[in-house]
Structures are given as C-alpha cells and as structure tokens.
Amino acid sequence: MEATAESVFETDKAPLIYRALLPEIETTVTERSEIRVQAFKDRLILKVIAADLVSLRSTMNTWLRLIQVAYEVLEQTST
C-alpha cells in the first residue's frame, strides 16, 4: 500500500531553507520512501511518497525536523 503526505510551509525564508536542505534532498536514505521539495518565494512544499505508513511517518518526522532546524538557524542568524 503506497502512502503520500504533503506539507506546505508559508515563510519568506523558503528559498534559503531549500538551499540548506539540498545536500539531504540529493541523497537517498531509504528505498522505501521518496521525497520532493519545492521552494517558491514564500512557500516550501514537502511531499513524501512511501511504500507503507511506517515509512511515511518516519520520513515525515525526519524531514519536518530538518525543516524546523533550518528555519530556527535562519531565524537566529537574521536577528
């Protein structure tokens, strides 16, 4: 059973977050899931396609945390 989830983050830092995540985007960690990340001027879109729900949850948790860390670092460096 394939599972898919998509999250949209509205932030003016979307292009910067995307660039920070590029090394992770370009490497495959598992064969059980695939990620797609798109950045626009004020939106970052994360789409996860996984072979099963366990893989979907694990991949979503990882990527949500990576996005959060990138955002927090950018917040600290811009103040």
pLDDT digits (tens, 9 = 90+) for 19-61: 999 999 888 778 899 999 999 999 999 999 999 999 999 999 9
Q: Integer distance in angstroms from the first to the last C-alpha of the chain?
A: 45
pTM of the model: 0.89
The residue among 27 and 70 whose pLDDT is bigger is 70
In angstroms, the Cα distances linking 3 to 16, 28, 61, 66 are 28, 18, 15, 21
The residue type of 44 is L
The residue among 78 and 4 whose pLDDT is bigger is 4
Q: What is the pLDDT of residue 79?
A: 61
Q: What is the pLDDT of residue 28?
A: 75
